[in-house]
Structure 1
Amino acid sequence: MKLDYLQALKRVDEARGAWVLHGQEPLLEQNLVDTFRASWLKQDIERQRYDITSVSDWKTVFNALNSLSLFSSQLAIEVHGNIKPDANGLKELKKYLQHNEQNLLLVVMPKQDSSSLKTAFFQTIDANGVNVNLVANYPKDRQQILAVEAQKLGIQLANDAWQWLEQHHEHNLLAAKNSLMRVSDTFTDVAVIQIDHLHSCLQDQSRYTTFDLSDALLQGDFGQSVKIFQYLIASGEAMSLILWSISKEIRLLMQLFEQPQNALQLGIWKNKVSQYQQALRRLDPNSFLAWPSLLLRIDASIKGLGNENAEHLVFQAIAGLCGKPLFMAPTS
């Protein structure tokens, strides 16, 4: 079954079997994954996460899907990566889909090209699971998605204000959502947001974005990366969005290190491939070992779990990505 983003949002609570999310819209991926996690928490469904860095990792995933803890009746396995199961893995996937009706396998992948969507893996998902393409190619789709975000914030925009917002952000949904959040905080008593409200609120807020942070990190410019990070924090950027940008670059670098010939298949834009290759040449591969655990610590600190400071941990991640590690040594 194939669903779009809005259709998928409506079916999260009933999701079982195998779902695959893929695309190049970070806002849609983040929203949908967050909705799944909230749903699992509400339903007391045990959640486990795995990052796929090699085909052999799929064996661990399927072993986990077939084993529940003593305290759980349902399990959600969240998988991130761009490596599909091999022939043996596909057998395990089909077996799981035929015999396990309660658990959920949620696979989150970057944008897939047309040849990838024709592989046996996606054919199996189309026939027996749910395939969600996270795209918003048309203005009507983007406005519909952002209207949902505006509704969450309790604001309404005039029709011409929607057009201005989209043009201002050049179809970048994530940046547009951040602007909606700023407008909501600034004009708390305004019934309908007009262009003048957007302009006055956003004209001084477009200096840096999380995409600028990603570019600085890839270039290994530690000073500029810190400067952009500090600006984002000062301007009210959500820490979760900053983490998403950093974790995306870390994931792509680790995958490219494992698959140096598959940059485009990993979802790296053609004009960005050389930047990722240069970053890999600059970095010590041994530092990769510490990155996944550091990202988990940042995520936990953002959610208020533990006693660590999220901003301090993000500084560690920025330093590590720029090749200037502070406290990145792997711990046992």
Structure 2
Amino acid sequence: MKLDYLQALKRIPEARGAWVLHGQEPLLEQNLLDAFRKSWHEQNIERQRYDISNVSDWKTVFNALNSLSLFSTQLAIEVHGNIKPDANGIKLLTQYLQHNEQNLLLIVMPKQDSSSLKSGFFKVIDANGVNVNLTAHYPQDRQRILAVEAEKLGIELANNAWQWLEQHHEHNLLAAKNSLMRVRDTFPDLAQIGIEQLFACLQDQSRYSTFDLSDALLEGNFAQAVKIYQYLLASGEPMSLLLWSISKEMRLLMQLFEQPQNALQLGIWKTKVSLYQQALRRLNPKQFLTWPTLLLRIDASIKGLSQENPEQLILQAIAMLCGRQLFH
């Protein structure tokens, strides 16, 4: 079964079997994960988390799914990674779906390309589980999602304000939500927020944005990138948004290195293609192999799952994108 984000939100309380969340929208991923964890807590469902670093890790996951603790009747296992099960893992997945109706396997993956979505793993999920693509391609989809966020915050936007908000953030849902929070705090007594309030609030607090950081990274301007990064930290920019910006640039550079003729198909704006090409000429492709591990470390540190400092790790990622090395 295939669901979009809003459909998935409504089905969380009765979620069982296997669900896969994949995409490049951190707001949608985090909202769904928060809703799942809240539901598990309310239903007293035991939760475990696993990070997949190689194919053999899937055996551990399926062993855990079939063994409850003495104090649990249901189990939810949260799996993070971009490595799909091999043939043996798909066999274990099929057996789990056929015989275990109470537990939930929730798999969180980055954006998948069309060939990956046609793999044996996704065929099993589509036929027997739930496939949630965390995307919002169209303006009306993004507005529906942000309208839900605005309702949670207790604010209402005028019709023309929605278009301004989207254009201001270049379709970045997480940044748009943060702006909704900002404008709510700035104008707490207004019944409806218009363009004037958005402009006044966001212009005052947007000396630099994550888009400025991305440009500095692609240009290899380390001093400017650090300056923007420090400003964003001081202005309270969420670490998850900073990670999203950096991981997006790393992912696009790795994809463009493998598919140099497909810049536009990869989602790179036409006006930015030359920036990405210059960055590739400046960077050493061997470093790309270390990027996924660093991004996982940053994600874990932001979520409090490790003792590492996320600010220092993000600074390390900024240095790498600029062709620098902070630590030997």
Aligned to 1:11: 11
* Mapped contact 2:301–2:309 kept (Cα < 8 A): no
Instruction: State the identity as a percent.
Output: 68
Query: Once structures 1 and 2 are overlaid, which stretch shifts more, 52-61 or 144-153?
Result: 52-61
1:39-91 deviation line (CA, Å, top 9, x unaligned): 22333333333333332232232222223334433322222233221111110
* SS, match of residue 203 in structure 1: helix
Aligned to 1:90: 90
Query: Once structures 1 and 2 are overlaid, which stretch shifts more, 168-177 or 10-19?
Result: 168-177
Aligned to 1:66: 66
Aligned to 2:78: 78
Structure 1 residue 35 and structure 2 residue 35: aligned? Answer: yes
Report the Cα offset of residue 102 of structure 1.
1.9
Supply the distance in 2 between the matched residues of 1:132 and 1:28 (Cα, whole angstroms).
10
* Mapped contact 1:16–1:103 kept (Cα < 8 A): yes
* Mapped contact 1:247–1:295 kept (Cα < 8 A): no
Aligned to 2:230: 230
Aligned to 1:151: 151
* Mapped contact 2:47–2:75 kept (Cα < 8 A): yes
Aligned to 2:49: 49
Structure 1 residue 296 and structure 2 residue 311: aligned? Answer: no
Report the Cα offset of residue 134 of structure 1.
1.5
Supply the distance in 2 between the matched residues of 1:91 and 1:275 (Cα, whole angstroms).
42
Amino acid at match of 2:186: T
Supply the distance in 2 between the matched residues of 1:115 and 1:288 (Cα, whole angstroms).
20
Structure 1 residue 126 and structure 2 residue 126: aligned? Answer: yes
Amino acid at match of 1:230: Q
With structure 2 as the length reference, what TM-score do the two structures score?
0.79
Aligned to 2:205: 205
Query: Once structures 1 and 2 are overlaid, which stretch shifts more, 46-55 or 290-299?
Result: 290-299
* SS, match of residue 21 in structure 2: strand
Report the Cα offset of residue 161 of structure 1.
1.1
Amino acid at match of 1:95: Q
* Mapped contact 2:216–2:224 kept (Cα < 8 A): yes
Gaps of 5+ in 1: none
> Please, what is the CA RMSD of the aligned residues?
3.6
* Mapped contact 1:294–1:317 kept (Cα < 8 A): no
Q: 1:172 to 1:86 in 2, by over 3 A?
A: same
1:217-236 deviation line (CA, Å, top 9, x unaligned): 57765433432222222333
* Mapped contact 2:47–2:77 kept (Cα < 8 A): yes
Supply the distance in 1 between the matched residues of 2:69 and 2:278 (Cα, whole angstroms).
45
Amino acid at match of 2:44: D
Q: 1:66 to 1:279 in 2, by over 3 A?
A: farther
Report the Cα offset of residue 211 of structure 1.
4.7
Report the Cα offset of residue 160 of structure 1.
1.2
Q: 1:73 to 1:217 in 2, by over 3 A?
A: farther
* Mapped contact 1:157–1:193 kept (Cα < 8 A): yes
> Matches of residues 174-189 of structure 1 in structure 2 within 5 Å?
174-189=174-189
Gaps of 5+ in 2: none
* SS, match of residue 19 in structure 2: strand
Supply the distance in 2 between the matched residues of 1:276 and 1:49 (Cα, whole angstroms).
35
Q: 1:30 to 1:279 in 2, by over 3 A?
A: farther
Supply the distance in 2 between the matched residues of 1:248 and 1:22 (Cα, whole angstroms).
14
* Mapped contact 1:298–1:313 kept (Cα < 8 A): no
Query: Once structures 1 and 2 are overlaid, which stretch shifts more, 143-152 or 103-112?
Result: 103-112
Q: 1:215 to 1:91 in 2, by over 3 A?
A: farther
Report the Cα offset of residue 133 of structure 1.
1.4
1:197-241 deviation line (CA, Å, top 9, x unaligned): 011111233443335445655776543343222222233322343
1:125-179 deviation line (CA, Å, top 9, x unaligned): 1111001111222222111100011111111011111122122223222222121
Query: Once structures 1 and 2 are overlaid, which stretch shifts more, 184-193 or 218-227?
Result: 218-227
Aligned length: 317
Report the Cα offset of residue 97 of structure 1.
0.6
Q: 1:309 to 1:23 in 2, by over 3 A?
A: closer
* SS, match of residue 105 in structure 1: strand
Q: 1:213 to 1:69 in 2, by over 3 A?
A: farther
Supply the distance in 2 between the matched residues of 1:225 and 1:71 (Cα, whole angstroms).
50
Supply the distance in 2 between the matched residues of 1:97 and 1:91 (Cα, whole angstroms).
10
